[in-house]
């Protein structure tokens, strides 16, 4: 392989890279490695550094197929993670009603360092979104799992219903199905 001064190279048998600074003879070069040190290497231990475009094949259909397989795998991984995150909801209730669990660990990946008010805002945002989607889907009943705790989230949910949806009926959900800490809401149509 013919290298010239300034060529970027990678090491064949080890990690790292460098730039050729001097051609010593037909078999050896001097280069500055990725740490800034000058080293002597045999030409047979070096390979030229290439751009990503250099690795593309002549067959563009094959390249697109590879990219689509990579993207499909990423999508499958995301879908699996999403299903895993919400799989605990499958054990609740019947299909005639939707269920949402507002425990913060089910809504976001990490809540370390968040204040209680920030957590409450996220929970209420999810509740409002869930409620609006349920109304749009003409759902008859929904169950909101809010937990027991100090009752702040439960109070805020019921206050939201009293102010903006006074015609909806709500009550503690079935203890047998949800334990303490869940509210069932009947989405009654607004009287004309």
pLDDT digit string, tens, across residues 152-166: 999 999 999 999 999
Helix H or strand E segment including 115? none
pLDDT of 83 reads: 67
Phi-psi region of 10 (alpha: psi -120 to 50; beta: other; left: phi over 0): beta
Are 107 and 182 members of one domain?
yes
CATH of the domain at 38: 2.30.30.30
Are 105 and 134 members of one domain?
yes
Report residue 75's pLDDT band, with 50, 70 and 90 as the boundaries. confident
Nearest CA to 28 out of 13, 50, 44 is that of 44
SS3 (DSSP) at 48:
strand
Mean predicted lDDT score pLDDT of the chain: 83
pLDDT reading at 88 higher than 80: no
- Say if 78 falls within a structural domain: no
- Its pTM stands at 0.51
Choice between 192 and 121, residue whose per-residue pLDDT is larger: 121
* Residues 58-74: tens digit of each pLDDT: 666 666 777 777 777 77
Are 122 and 57 members of one domain?
no
């Amino acid at each position: 392989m013919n290298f010239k001064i300034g060529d970027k190279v990678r090491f064949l048998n080890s990690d790292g890279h460098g730039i050729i600074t001097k051609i010593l003879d037909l078999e050896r070069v001097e280069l500055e490695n990725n740490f800034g040190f000058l080293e002597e290497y045999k030409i047979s231990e070096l390979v030229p550094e290439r751009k990503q475009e250099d690795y593309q094949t002549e067959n563009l259909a094959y390249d697109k197929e590879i990219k689509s397989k990579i993207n499909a795998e990423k999508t499958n991984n995301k879908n699996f993670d999403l299903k895993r995150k919400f799989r605990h909801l499958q054990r609740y209730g019947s299909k005639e009603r939707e269920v949402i669990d507002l425990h913060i660990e089910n809504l976001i990946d990490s809540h370390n360092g968040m204040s209680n008010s920030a957590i409450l805002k996220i929970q209420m945002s999810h509740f409002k979104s869930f409620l609006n989607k349920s109304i749009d889907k003409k759902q008859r009943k929904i169950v909101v799992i809010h937990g027991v705790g100090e009752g702040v989230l439960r109070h805020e949910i019921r206050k939201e219903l009293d102010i903006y949806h006074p015609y909806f009926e709500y009550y503690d959900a079935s203890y047998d199905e949800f334990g303490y800490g869940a509210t069932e809401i009947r989405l009654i149509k607004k009287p004309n």
